[in-house]
Amino acid sequence: MMLAYMDRAAAAAEPEDAGEPAPVAAGCAAATDFGGLVSAIPAAVVRPASADDVASAIRAAARTAGLTVAARGNGHSVAGQAMAEGGLVLDMRALALSRRPQMQLVGCPGGGNNGPCYADVPGGALWEEVLHWGVKNHGLAPASWTDYLRLTVGGTLSNGGVSGQSFRYGPQVSNVAELEVVTGDGDCRVCSPSSHPDLFFAVLGGLGQFGVITRARIPLRRAPRAVRWTRVVYASFADYTADAEWLVTRPPEEAFDYVEGFAFVNSDDPVNGWPSVPIPGGARFDASLLPAGAGPVLYCLEVALYQYPDGAVEDDEDKVGPEHVGGAAGRRGLLPGGAAAVLPGRRAGGGRAGGAERRDPPRVPRQRLRPQGLLPELPGRGGVGAPLRRRQVEALRGAQGPLRPAGDPRAGPENLPQGPGVRRRRVARAPAGGGGPGLAWHGRMGWGEDQPGVSCWW
């Protein structure tokens, strides 16, 4: 263990002629965080090489009255939560940078075909590092992520770890099999849902108040070879929320793998306006096509569907077709409504590449889609041009239920459609640049090989 001590008096003071003292010690990253609202200079920064080092530091702090301890990952707290003024800051990144073996594959008999796979990773490892290690070495990855991957494993598990996959796979705290934790009395314990469960569930989402996570065992699943994704921009908050609700309440065999939304300013401001919303496929945002009544704030949904390398059920690339989001389209949302749909390649209902949806396009009649094989008959369900009724949304919400921990038959990474009985839905494929009236076409991007042509997404 290495202690990095600082001379507080020298570090906190500016030169005599500079006036007020500096709020942050020069070179002391532990005195700042991502929020930039708070600064607190610790007495020492501890850079542990093992869980034993973390335990030694906590036991030493316990012997000194009033000496506080804070665990710091990559410094992405926003209000000083990882600071300890006059106390000890544990630099958890040091755990991931030590020379000891960092990440280990656990279980995974037959490459995952004969049993579950797990990764044992240090609490100070970045999720970005976990991703690179898993995909490059084993073709595996966790099911649930954060939006920003340069966060530590222990940091997000101490908070929740919510992102666009959470509605389907659960948050990161529901995708953990085992933890190694150093408690407030300096004991190092291994806990899981079956061993010391009180400690296990207290630490997950416990904001570091019940112990410091030094190691986590994360379930892994096959990594997709590519990801299809796009973004859709809305001028109406009601349309935006209605479509978001529709998408996250789909049954698993019809659901996207990622759905997330955000708001941005209706202006050309490079930080908060249109340029801040990357659009796939190199398409540009054409603000002139926004509805005439668009307000100062716009809303965006980002959706993605994973593609897999073999013929397994997850490789059903077109399982989310127009029949599955037809109700949303009929509500003047995703496709032919008053919302501004930003899509790569072709716009919905138009021929210009990229940009926003036309201001008030007509709804697409079902009979114009069905002859092309793009919209099969679905008795009793709302289709394109038919609004989704509130009671249907309520029924879907009730069937899907809330987010549930891993292992629950209704949610979590084990809730994957498998076997020959899984219902598949195919949508016709068209040559690149083609497209029927009112249809949204998309290209593909990701880790794997591309194939000619594009597929109808909805």
Indicate which residue of 14, 147, 185, 450 is catalytic.
147
Complete DSSP assignment for 192-204: -SSSSHHHHHHHT
Complete DSSP assignment for 299-328: EEEEEEEEE-SSSSGGG-TTSS-TTTSHHH
State the Cα torsion 167-321-386-169 to the nearest 10°: -10
Q: Please provide residue 345's backbone torsions phi and psi, each rounded to the nearest 5 degrees.
A: 80, -100
| Closest to 415 (Cα-Cα) out of 248, 205, 221 | 221
Cβ atoms of residues 28 and 41 within 8 Å: yes
Cβ atoms of residues 59 and 52 within 8 Å: no
Residue 364 and residue 22: Cα distance in Å, rounded?
63
Indicate which residue of 33, 76, 317, 442 is catalytic.
76
Phi/psi-derived region of residue 224, left when phi > 0, alpha when psi is between -120 and 50, beta in every other case: beta
Residue position matching structure tokens 């899907």 = 400
Q: Please provide residue 456's backbone torsions phi and psi, each rounded to the nearest 5 degrees.
A: -75, 125
Secondary structure class of 355 (helix, strand, coil): coil
Cβ atoms of residues 355 and 376 within 8 Å: no
Residue 17 annotated in active site: no
Which helix (H) or strand (E) element contains residue 5? strand 2-5
Residue 76 annotated in active site: yes
Going by DSSP bridges, is the β-strand pair 441-442/454-456 parallel, antiparallel, or unpaired? Answer: antiparallel
Going by DSSP bridges, is the β-strand pair 88-91/44-47 parallel, antiparallel, or unpaired? Answer: parallel
- Compute how many other C-beta atoms are within 10 angstroms of the C-beta atom of residue 111: 12
Q: Name the burial class of residue 265, with classes exposed (0-12), middle (13-18) and buried (19+) by CB atoms within 10 angstroms of its CB.
A: middle
DSSP 223: P
Indicate which residue of 53, 260, 317, 318 is catalytic.
260
* Sheet (strand 44-47) strand order: 2-5, 44-47, 88-91, 69-72
Locate all alpha helices (DSSP H) within 68-185, ordered by sequence.
93-97, 127-138, 153-157, 166-169
82-110 per-residue burial string, b: 16 or more CB within 10 A, e: under 16: bbbbebbbbbbbbbbeeeeebbebeebee
- The first and second tokens of residue 448, run together, are 């794997």
Question: Annotated active-site positions, please?
Answer: 76, 147, 260
